[in-house]
Chains A and B, each alone.
Chain A
């Protein structure tokens, strides 16, 4: 417990919280009647005068009662009230015109009371600062290194000069590596503003390349106005090395966003690469098949509201089947009568897309439907101060690559895949050697459509699920397939990622809309130069 005392007292002294303050050894007569338990001090808040409150708060912090932190937090949030009748200190949360009150320490519910029945224990700004420091001080004791770490970071960010002593003391007792590192950084940060140029210089050595925003600002200050030219030059170097690093991570972040966009494009386009690329069918309803996949996710989540965490695992096969069956129905019902008439196919499938859009409007609603992210898809993976990967984007990227790999495998290794490619290359010949081309067509189209459904599941985690979801992706998907080269899955693969990354690289300086326009213009020009896309299929009579 020695450590507790040491640190807490250091906090209080260094930050000049109160002259009346004491450690455990301090004489008790200073404060009221030397209350011994948390309950008593808390209760005394109800009757305390405004200027007595800071001292009481400090007393609370010194107690070794685990409940004190929660109490101080509530106080910081302005939730500590006292009832006017009983003069009891309570925690109160306003609900419309009433207060929901509960015991300030045990949390026991005490019911609803009118606004007039309670009075607030007043907290002003300087007290708020103290409260934060005290909470940080308590956190410095915590078993959990992460909590200690954020407490250190908070202290460092608060008041650099005063912290030095405290940090030195902390360093002597801290065992956790990352906390120690934070303390070291804090010390260096404090040293940056010391009188001694040597100390400042040493601090710069240590902080060079650090990405923390506070540290970066501190170094910038040194670089802009240090009296010692050597130190200033050093600070400039340190700053530029930090900026280089930030820039580098910025590129990595952009690359990640680009890859993420590419993965979305790939998912959206891969089904099209099958139906358009392999079968030569222009399916303008492809976007709506994606939309159906997204709505399937919604339905799955509505059907099993208690298993959101696994909903996606159910939704992926479900969406594949739903969109796939729709696809097969479209192929058997309409498209098979239109083979060899691409422009007519285009018109008919456009009609289908209109019908499907109106269908979900009628069945569900014209409004967007809420699809929730499971917990494991939310949040982000923070690699450092300036670099973070969103879990949903990361998982979708991985998912997309898995889907692509499985599809390539399917087309390469399975009987269906071989038949699909045979029909694509020479329908008449494939028929002659016994491939049931009608059946293969239906399955291929079903496969492409099912992939669209899977894309819909992924998209439901990124964007709004509404009747127009598909339209937003159809032009992009076609662009990807055309850009990559029709009939070539790898073309689609590279095409998606190239377009995704280019788009994200351009976005910061061109803006999202202009970037999109530029990409479209780029593809239009590219197609002029290379009408068969990135990976053209070459061979005799490819044109006819």
Chain B
């Protein structure tokens, strides 16, 4: 009862959020049911491919939500969120890798294939514990959070802001990419982690597992959305927005700006890590390519297109852009980069507030006319 009133209170005045949550809840019902219980011959059947695809989009939406929290509300334009996402993904990947057990090509009960291939004889210490699902998930969120804490604490304390911060974060993800490409790091080098078999005992390839993963991801997205909405409505959220708009004013009022920024940044990285962890079971692989600087910048464009500092805009943007990407790369692969590049320019020049801002402007005009 109390949680219900909490949700209502949190969504007060957030029409977009209410619609979003309704749609997400509906999807969580429709996708599994139409996938599992409607025969393949029926036109209403939703293929496992689509379930997986949209499951992936939900992970991206979660990632976009994370970035919107940092960028939209706190003005931290992170060009390194791909790194947090990938780190979370590696956390899940390590768990799934350990689950393979002796079913790998080399049949080693303890060591993943790539370690056997490198002639390693024992598991590196940091792989310990990843056979435990709970621990692995904790790490998938904790490690990105820790990185964000160390980085943010250093950066915000020295007042590294704006473009500088963006570029340094870009360098951070670039450095991590280089590092993860190395075999010596013990994360599978170039090939990353793949050939997963099952997750907490369920076969990853089965339709039911996919459907359940989809529902879990959808519910987590809803939960995180409500959580973020609650945060931005609290005094904390208002302080953070004020820091975005008038940093030195807040400093002279007595707020320790760096603590607030670090908190938001860490929170955002935690969510990104969770998104990465959820993403890996859908795609079945995690490799250093996820750290590519381009990925981090793409996240920004999702949020920008959807409309930043609205939360639901970020979710919308992530799903729309990725759907467009899937379509484009299937039909006209060369055109995708032109289209993406054009989108960047178009949105910054003509849609500074994103689609959400555009529609609310249109609505405003209509209302005035009427």
Q: Give A residues with C-beta under 8 Å from B.
A: 282, 334, 337-338, 342-348, 350-355, 357-358, 361-362, 471, 475, 478-479, 482, 513, 516-517, 520-521, 523-525, 527-529, 531, 543-544
Residue-wise, chain B 45-86 has the 8 Å CB interface mask toward A (1 for contact) of 000000000000000000000000000000001000000000
Q: Could you tell me if A351 and B162 are in contact, using CB atoms closer than 8 angstroms? A: no
- Smallest beta-carbon distance A246→chain B, Å: 30
Assuming A343-B77, A531-B158, is B170 touching A348 (CB within 8 A)? no
Q: Could you tell me if A517 and B178 are in contact, using CB atoms closer than 8 angstroms? A: yes
Residue-wise, chain B 320-351 has the 8 Å CB interface mask toward A (1 for contact) of 00000000000000100110111111011100
11 contacts between A and B (CB under 8 A): A338-B348, A344-B352, A348-B349, A351-B342, A358-B334, A475-B174, A513-B178, A516-B178, A527-B168, A528-B160, A529-B158
Q: Could you tell me if B154 and A525 are in contact, using CB atoms closer than 8 angstroms? A: yes
- Smallest beta-carbon distance B271→chain A, Å: 21
Which A-B residue pairs are the 6 nearest by beta carbons?
A351-B344, A354-B341, A355-B341, A358-B337, A351-B341, A528-B158
**Chain B residues with CB below 8 A from A475, complex form:** 167, 170-171, 174, 293
**Chain A residues with CB below 8 A from B334, complex form:** 358, 361-362
Q: How far is the CA of A528 from the CA of B164 in the complex (A)?
A: 11
Residue-wise, chain B 164-188 has the 8 Å CB interface mask toward A (1 for contact) of 1011101110110011011000000
> B267 an interface residue at 8 Å Cβ cutoff?
no
**Chain A residues with CB below 8 A from B167, complex form:** 282, 475, 478-479, 482
Q: How far is the CA of A282 from the CA of B159 in the complex (A)?
A: 19
Assuming A520-B172, A524-B171, A528-B157, is B166 touching A354 (CB within 8 A)? no
Q: Could you tell me if B158 and A513 are in contact, using CB atoms closer than 8 angstroms? A: no
* Residue from the set A282, A482, A528 with the largest chain B CB neighbour count within 10 Å: A528
> B155 an interface residue at 8 Å Cβ cutoff?
yes
- Smallest beta-carbon distance A253→chain B, Å: 25
Q: Could you tell me if A513 and B344 are in contact, using CB atoms closer than 8 angstroms? A: no
Q: Could you tell me if B345 and A520 are in contact, using CB atoms closer than 8 angstroms? A: no
* Residue from the set A358, A471, A525 with the largest chain B CB neighbour count within 10 Å: A358
Chain A residue nearest to B164 (CB atoms) is A482
> B163 an interface residue at 8 Å Cβ cutoff?
yes
Q: Could you tell me if A524 and B178 are in contact, using CB atoms closer than 8 angstroms? A: no
Chain A residue nearest to B346 (CB atoms) is A351
Q: Could you tell me if A513 and B160 are in contact, using CB atoms closer than 8 angstroms? A: no
Q: Could you tell me if A521 and B175 are in contact, using CB atoms closer than 8 angstroms? A: yes
Q: How far is the CA of A355 from the CA of B340 in the complex (A)?
A: 8
Chain B residue nearest to A521 (CB atoms) is B175
Q: Give B residues with C-beta under 8 Å from A.
A: 77, 151, 154-155, 157-160, 162-164, 166-168, 170-172, 174-175, 178-179, 181-182, 248, 293, 297, 300-301, 304, 334, 337-338, 340-345, 347-349, 352
- Smallest beta-carbon distance B32→chain A, Å: 37
**Chain B residues with CB below 8 A from A282, complex form:** 163, 167
Q: How far is the CA of A492 from the CA of B262 in the complex (A)?
A: 30
Chain B residue nearest to A533 (CB atoms) is B164
**Chain A residues with CB below 8 A from B338, complex form:** 354-355, 358
Q: How far is the CA of A362 from the CA of B337 in the complex (A)?
A: 11
Interface SS of A by simple majority: helix
**Chain A residues with CB below 8 A from B178, complex form:** 513, 516-517
Q: Could you tell me if A527 and B337 are in contact, using CB atoms closer than 8 angstroms? A: no
Q: Could you tell me if A343 and B341 are in contact, using CB atoms closer than 8 angstroms? A: no
**Chain B residues with CB below 8 A from A528, complex form:** 154-155, 157-158, 160
Assuming A358-B334, A520-B174, is B157 touching A342 (CB within 8 A)? no
Chain A residue nearest to B347 (CB atoms) is A347
Q: How far is the CA of A15 from the CA of B154 in the complex (A)?
A: 72
Contacting B166 at CB < 8 Å: which of A346, A471, A527?
A: A346
Q: How far is the CA of A145 from the CA of B154 in the complex (A)?
A: 64
- Smallest beta-carbon distance A332→chain B, Å: 13
Q: Could you tell me if B182 and A348 are in contact, using CB atoms closer than 8 angstroms? A: no
Q: How far is the CA of A524 from the CA of B344 in the complex (A)?
A: 27
- Smallest beta-carbon distance A362→chain B, Å: 6
Chain B residue nearest to A358 (CB atoms) is B337
Q: Could you tell me if A354 and B337 are in contact, using CB atoms closer than 8 angstroms? A: yes
**Chain A residues with CB below 8 A from B352, complex form:** 344
Q: Could you tell me if A351 and B159 are in contact, using CB atoms closer than 8 angstroms? A: no
Q: Could you tell me if A354 and B340 are in contact, using CB atoms closer than 8 angstroms? A: yes
Q: How far is the CA of A337 from the CA of B345 in the complex (A)?
A: 11
Q: How far is the CA of A478 from the CA of B167 in the complex (A)?
A: 7
- Smallest beta-carbon distance B143→chain A, Å: 17
Q: Could you tell me if A358 and B344 are in contact, using CB atoms closer than 8 angstroms? A: no
Q: Could you tell me if B181 and A348 are in contact, using CB atoms closer than 8 angstroms? A: no
Chain A residue nearest to B168 (CB atoms) is A524
Q: How far is the CA of A529 from the CA of B167 in the complex (A)?
A: 16
Q: How far is the CA of A352 from the CA of B154 in the complex (A)?
A: 32
**Chain A residues with CB below 8 A from B344, complex form:** 347-348, 350-352, 354
**Chain B residues with CB below 8 A from A342, complex form:** 162-163
**Chain A residues with CB below 8 A from B348, complex form:** 338, 344-345, 347-348, 351
Q: Could you tell me if A520 and B341 are in contact, using CB atoms closer than 8 angstroms? A: no
Q: Could you tell me if B164 and A527 are in contact, using CB atoms closer than 8 angstroms? A: yes
Q: Could you tell me if B345 and A348 are in contact, using CB atoms closer than 8 angstroms? A: yes
- Smallest beta-carbon distance B338→chain A, Å: 5
**Chain A residues with CB below 8 A from B166, complex form:** 343, 346
**Chain A residues with CB below 8 A from B293, complex form:** 471, 475
Contacting A523 at CB < 8 Å: which of B159, B162, B171, B341?
A: B171
* Residue from the set B77, B151, B341 with the largest chain A CB neighbour count within 10 Å: B341
**Chain A residues with CB below 8 A from B342, complex form:** 351, 355
**Chain A residues with CB below 8 A from B163, complex form:** 282, 342-343, 346
**Chain A residues with CB below 8 A from B168, complex form:** 482, 523-524, 527
Q: Could you tell me if B179 and A513 are in contact, using CB atoms closer than 8 angstroms? A: yes
Q: How far is the CA of A282 from the CA of B300 in the complex (A)?
A: 16
- Smallest beta-carbon distance A120→chain B, Å: 46
Q: How far is the CA of A524 from the CA of B165 in the complex (A)?
A: 9
Assuming A347-B301, A528-B160, is B345 touching A352 (CB within 8 A)? yes
Given A348-B345, A354-B337, 4 more A-B residue pairs with CB atoms under 8 Å apart are A343-B163, A346-B166, A352-B344, A527-B160
- Smallest beta-carbon distance B353→chain A, Å: 11
- Smallest beta-carbon distance A235→chain B, Å: 40
**Chain A residues with CB below 8 A from B182, complex form:** 513
Chain B residue nearest to A516 (CB atoms) is B178
Q: How far is the CA of A525 from the CA of B153 in the complex (A)?
A: 12
Chain B residue nearest to A354 (CB atoms) is B341
**Chain B residues with CB below 8 A from A362, complex form:** 334
**Chain A residues with CB below 8 A from B175, complex form:** 516-517, 520-521
Q: Could you tell me if B162 and A343 are in contact, using CB atoms closer than 8 angstroms? A: yes
Q: How far is the CA of A531 from the CA of B151 in the complex (A)?
A: 14
**Chain A residues with CB below 8 A from B248, complex form:** 543-544
- Smallest beta-carbon distance B214→chain A, Å: 31
Q: How far is the CA of A318 from the CA of B86 in the complex (A)?
A: 42
* Residue from the set A338, A353, A524, A525 with the largest chain B CB neighbour count within 10 Å: A524
Q: How far is the CA of A249 from the CA of B291 in the complex (A)?
A: 39
* Residue from the set A338, A354, A479, A523 with the largest chain B CB neighbour count within 10 Å: A354
**Chain B residues with CB below 8 A from A525, complex form:** 154
**Chain B residues with CB below 8 A from A521, complex form:** 175
- Smallest beta-carbon distance B223→chain A, Å: 29
**Chain B residues with CB below 8 A from A543, complex form:** 248
Q: How far is the CA of A348 from the CA of B157 in the complex (A)?
A: 29
Q: How far is the CA of A517 from the CA of B173 in the complex (A)?
A: 10
**Chain A residues with CB below 8 A from B162, complex form:** 342-343
Assuming A354-B337, A524-B171, A531-B158, is B164 touching A517 (CB within 8 A)? no
- Smallest beta-carbon distance A381→chain B, Å: 33
Q: How far is the CA of A378 from the CA of B163 in the complex (A)?
A: 40
**Chain B residues with CB below 8 A from A346, complex form:** 77, 163, 166
**Chain A residues with CB below 8 A from B343, complex form:** 351
- Smallest beta-carbon distance B258→chain A, Å: 11
Q: Could you tell me if A357 and B337 are in contact, using CB atoms closer than 8 angstroms? A: yes
**Chain A residues with CB below 8 A from B151, complex form:** 524
Q: How far is the CA of A343 from the CA of B162 in the complex (A)?
A: 7
- Smallest beta-carbon distance A149→chain B, Å: 46
Q: How far is the CA of A282 from the CA of B348 in the complex (A)?
A: 14
Chain A residue nearest to B151 (CB atoms) is A524
